[in-house]
Amino acid sequence: MIFWLSVLLLSFIIACICFYPLLKKQIKAQTVKRDELNKALYFQRLVEIERDEAQGLLKNAEILKQELQQSLLEDIPEQKNAAQIDQKHYGKLWFISGFLVLAIISVIFYMGVGSWKSEDMLKKTYQKLPHFYERIQDEKNNPLTDAELQQFAIAQRLHLQKSPNDAKGWWLLGQIAMNTNKAQLALDSYARANKLEPDNLEYKLSYARILMFSEDPTDKSKGDELLKEVIRKDHANLEALGLLAFRYFETEDYKMAAVTWAMMLRLLPEDDPRTELIQRSIESARASYQEKETNKK
């Protein structure tokens, strides 16, 4: 309702700007022309009366002159009033017609190319947000399709516009962005979640993970610091230890990489399937460390 009132108000303002001359009493030019015509007729008639008087054809010339003057004085105001009424009437009529035409054209144009369809689609997508929350609870058995993930991301962003301090909502948007290969959106979302709840290790770890895979050395360094913060608070966080060990190996700090993987190995259960992979990683780090030391000599 407010939108349509705004459309009418805007149309009225535009109509006032465009059709304002129609509201003005533009009778000056018409009045001048009629005054000149009346004066011309008056002087012509006056010459005729004087000519007839000079020829002796008139005996009451002065009376005729007075009547002619009186007729001229009475005719001018009547013409002015008629012109004013006529101009005012048609000016308002044209203004109202122009305003209505402008309003109708505006509505037709908006209905054809306006954003109401997009707004309606966004509204319907946002209404499906509870459904998406239920679906991710059973993600393993019933994963979301790419199209559903796109809709989920849109609905989640609309939710965050209304609730910008929802840390979990930002983290969830980061998770969706990771699944749709939108790295920058994931980075921004994780950063927002970590900022809102800096003590949440899950948010911090997600933020650190994406920073470590950035090509910017500054991001990588910041990711290192976040991982160390997680490990200081949770010494048995296997994911943080694994990421940190990989980071050490990437920077050719093979000794620390081997030590970190060894810490992970001690924390894993004996039948954990990751044990063999970590053992090979430790051997690779030690071999690289020995080769590095030999090259120094």
> What integer pLDDT is reported at residue 26 of this predicted model?
46
CA–CA gap between residue 194 and residue 83 (Å, rounded): 76
Number of H helices, E strands in the chain: 13, 0
Contact 224, 260 (CB under 8 A): no
Residues of the chain where predicted confidence (pLDDT) is lower than 50: 25-30, 78-86, 116
Contact 182, 148 (CB under 8 A): no
> What integer pLDDT is reported at residue 222 of this predicted model?
93
Domain boundaries, the chain: 118-222, 235-296
> What integer pLDDT is reported at residue 125 of this predicted model?
83
Give the CATH fold of the 118-222 domain.
1.25.40
> What integer pLDDT is reported at residue 17 of this predicted model?
60
Q: What is the DSSP letter of 144?
A: P
Tell me if residue 270 falls in helix, strand or coil. coil
Is the pTM for the entire model greater than 0.95?
Answer: no
CA–CA gap between residue 248 and residue 261 (Å, rounded): 10
CA–CA gap between residue 230 and residue 205 (Å, rounded): 7
**DSSP of 154-177:** HHHHHHHHH-TT-HHHHHHHHHHH
> What integer pLDDT is reported at residue 28 of this predicted model?
45
CA–CA gap between residue 177 and residue 192 (Å, rounded): 14
> What integer pLDDT is reported at residue 143 of this predicted model?
85
